[in-house]
Structure 1
Amino acid sequence: MEAKHYWREASLMMRVYVVCEGPTEETFVRNVLAPKLAHQQIFLTGRGVTTSRGHRGGALNYDRVKLFILNCLKEENATIITTFFDLYGLEKRFPGYEKSQAIIDVYQRTQFLEQALKDDIAQSNNTYLNRFVPYIQPYEFEGLLFSDISKLTDIHSEWSKALIKLQADRSDFETPEHINNSYETKPSERIKKALESVQIFASSKKSYRKTYHGPLAIQNIGIDKLCAECKHFADWYQQLTDLGTA
């Protein structure tokens, strides 16, 4: 994503709404990103898209996503709106989706989709252009855990038995963001299978719960490590930190 600078409020405080795919991403924003950026007077709030009546998370319907983003942009004219959606499972009606399938490089494909989303929102009102910073995570949130999988397996002692398998999965790919795009091979499925393979599910308290264990592992990994391992995430995070210097 091309880095851009955005204006700040006269109070030197920048408000950012992160439109999230589900509760896992909301928890990540609240527990990891928000405390880190608050020191720079950049205040992040995660907002989950309503995917059906009374529910948030799950498959993203683009009509609902677009309406949700536009409503957030209308609320306050100095607030930045960004997103945190997974590339995996993105609905085919998202802007640019069909054309994006011909793009082999995952970073180029993701950037193409982000720009298509930005352009579609701007068509509704071009004054939103400088306040909307779309972000799509290749291929999904759990890919970030592969930046240092030991931080996940450290959470419960039994999970250490899955470390070698998960590290082998990581070594097969250029970066955690390249861990690929099918139901059987997506990052979250690899984690689930690795943990199941060492039979650690005798206690439900120690089964993998993405909303709890995912953000907790990333909190232990740390933003610096994420940025070192995950280029696309690092570019987005730099855009957020740049808000404090605009």
Structure 2
Amino acid sequence: MIRLHIVAEGQTEEEFVKSVLTEHLGILNISTDVHCITSKRTKKKVYRGGAVSYGKIKKDIMLWLKQDRNQEARFTTMLDLYALPNDFPNFAESQNKSDPYQKVEQLEAAFGNDINDPRFIPYIQLHEFEALILSDPQKLTERFPDYQVNIHKLLAVCEKFTSPELINNGSTTAPSKRLNKFIPGYEDAKVSVAPLIAKKIGLPTIRQKCPHFNAWISQLEQLR
């Protein structure tokens, strides 16, 4: 059995892995575990969540690589392109790419080269985890029935893009910012709500709407 270790940016991604990906990959004989990025350590406590710097991301990955040196172990990440730390490998060079898919692929390639372990599969989400939710924002009405009119407006915004992955990285227009605008209660509830909504939408729909995410899942499915 393949053991897949995932370093997630935050609790929302962590819960998504636990509630959606673990079951899906388990059918393929892939055992998945996940933890958030270690943001701070004290003698009494480990604080997790948030991609505050590339150095902290790399430290977490390298530590896990050393802890599990077996060839059947694999490692990957679930990070957001939005607000990606600017000390990330090839960050400055990637800003010259106008095509988001080319940009994220360049960053992932540099990421993989820097970690330099054949068991590592770099993944960066275009542009945020919330892009997966925007694959079918209508499902949000089940959790936020008082905002049906706003969710309809959000749906109209999403329909202007060929993929929710292309909903951009502006400080007011990134996927999470749009959700917060149309559904004021989303921010406080997202850790529990977002993975649940993603599960209701279903992987087939998300994969159809989000090609970069789909390519990552396809790669994981083929692990041997």
Structure 1 residues 175 and 142 mapped into 2: Cα distance closer, same or farther (>3 Å)? same
Question: Is residue 74 of structure 1 aligned with residue 54 of structure 2?
Answer: no
> Do 2:138 and 2:152's aligned partners in 1 also have CA atoms closer than 8 Å?
no
User: Which of 174, 197, 205 is the matching residue for 1:217?
Assistant: 197
Letter in 2 for 1:87: L
Deviation at 1:60, TM superposition (A): 2.6
2:77 aligned partner: 83
- For the 8 Å contact 2:167–2:175, the answer to whether it is kept is yes
- Asked whether 1:109 is paired with 2:89, we answer no
CA distance in 1, matches of 2:144, 2:12: 19
Equivalent position SS for 2:6:
strand
Does the alignment pair 1:25 with 2:19? no
How far does residue 159 in structure 1 lie from its aligned partner after superposition? Answer: 3.0
Cα distance in 1 for partners of 2:109, 2:23 equals 28
Name 1:63's counterpart in structure 2: 55
Shift of 1:207: 6.9
CA–CA distance in 2 between the matches of 1:72 and 1:82? 11
1:227 match? 207
Matches of 1:95 and 1:112 in 2, distance apart? Answer: 9
The code of the aligned residue for 1:21 comes to: E
**In structure 2, how many angstroms separate the alpha carbons of the residues matched to 1:111 and 1:99?**
12
Partner of 1:3: none
Paired AA for residue 138 in structure 1:
L
Does the residue aligned with 2:151 lie in a helix, a strand or coil?
Answer: helix
Name the SS for the 1:46 alignment partner: strand
Aligned residue identity for 1:96 = N
Distance 1:207 1:134, change over 3 A: closer
Task: Give the 3-state SS of the residue equivalent to 2:155 in structure 1.
Answer: helix
Report if the CA contact (8 A) 1:31-1:215 is conserved: yes
TM-score, normalised on structure 2?
0.93
Instruction: Select which of 98, 115, 127 maps to 1:139.
Output: 127
Q: What pairs with 1:196-215 in structure 2 (closer than 5 Å)?
A: 196=184, 209-215=189-195
Per-residue CA distance 1:174-211 (angstroms, 9 max, x = gap): 21000011110011110111023xxxx5xxxx875111
What is the CA-CA distance between 1:161 and the residue it aligns to? 2.5
Within 5 Å, which residues of 2 pair with 1:160-179?
160-179=148-167
Instruction: Give the equivalent residue in structure 2 for 1:156.
Output: 144
Report if the CA contact (8 A) 1:24-1:211 is conserved.
yes
Q: Are the equivalent residues in 2 in contact too, given 1:96–1:113 (CA < 8 A)?
A: yes
- Matches of 2:81 and 2:13 in 1, distance apart? 13
Q: Which residue of 2 aligns with 1:181?
A: 169
Tell me, yes or no, if the aligned pair for 2:151 and 2:183 is still in contact at 8 Å. Answer: no
